[in-house]
Amino acid sequence: MINKIILSFEMKLLTRASLILSVLFILRVFTGCLIHDCPEEVYPFDFEKIEILNLDNSGMWPAILSGDTMKRAAVAFQVSVYANLPLIGQSLQTPIISGFSFPTASGKSDCPMLYSANHTIENISVVTAYDLNESYHANADVTSLFLGSADIGYGSGLYVPIAELYQKINKARYFDYPETQFRLFYGRSVEKDSAQFIIRLKLSDATILSDTTQVIHIR
């Protein structure tokens, strides 16, 4: 009887010890995943390309529009300016623990790539490819008719004049992607049934980047 009690007691101790070791192992693995050294190297890049996406600005928040039809008072675009580089991002294989007679474990921790633009965006201009109304005909500069926003996600901030965008889209560091983005909103109602715009960017080294939106059908 006594032997059975002792055996039962030893089994409970062994089970409890195993449980404690397992918990400690998990905690050390978890903290090992969180604590790691990321490289501080900053990679220079040049802005080389522009991508323009249509926005649906008719709802509560602007959203990417897959089609080419917009409401007259909701013409908007999202502009991405980026470097023509290969796949971005890196993962570091970080040793985590060794001990408790367990083999060394390792986990993959994501560290951000740091980028610095060689040049800044100094000027954004918009030219209409079609007649907008009696005052603005094809090839007219219509930059003053647009407002901008550097907030890309849902719940974006207030629209600002384009002149106020530069301090927001030109950053000291870009994390993970050598890219900056902004949105342009036509501040009036389009009178014609079609519209198209040419967006030009002038960089601090006098380079001009430009792209043309799709032909927008107005309803």
| DSSP designation for 163 | G
Q: Among 129, 94, 113, which Cα is nearest to 215's?
A: 129
Beta bridge partners of 184: 77, 148
Q: pLDDT 10s per residue in the chain (219 long)?
A: 544 444 454 455 445 545 554 544 454 544 444 445 677 789 999 999 999 999 999 988 899 999 999 999 999 999 999 998 765 544 344 444 444 444 444 444 478 889 999 999 999 999 999 999 889 999 999 999 999 999 886 555 688 999 999 999 999 999 999 999 999 999 998 999 999 999 999 999 999 999 999 999 998
Domains and CATH numbers, the chain: 42-86+115-218 (2.60.40.1930)
| H-helix or E-strand spanning residue 14 | helix 2-34
Q: What is the DSSP letter of 150?
A: -
Where would I find the beta strands (DSSP E) of the chain?
A: 42-45, 49-56, 63-64, 69-70, 75-82, 90-99, 102-111, 114-117, 121-128, 146-149, 160-161, 174-175, 179-186, 194-195, 197-203, 208-212, 216-218
Match 């560091």 to its residue by tokens.
173
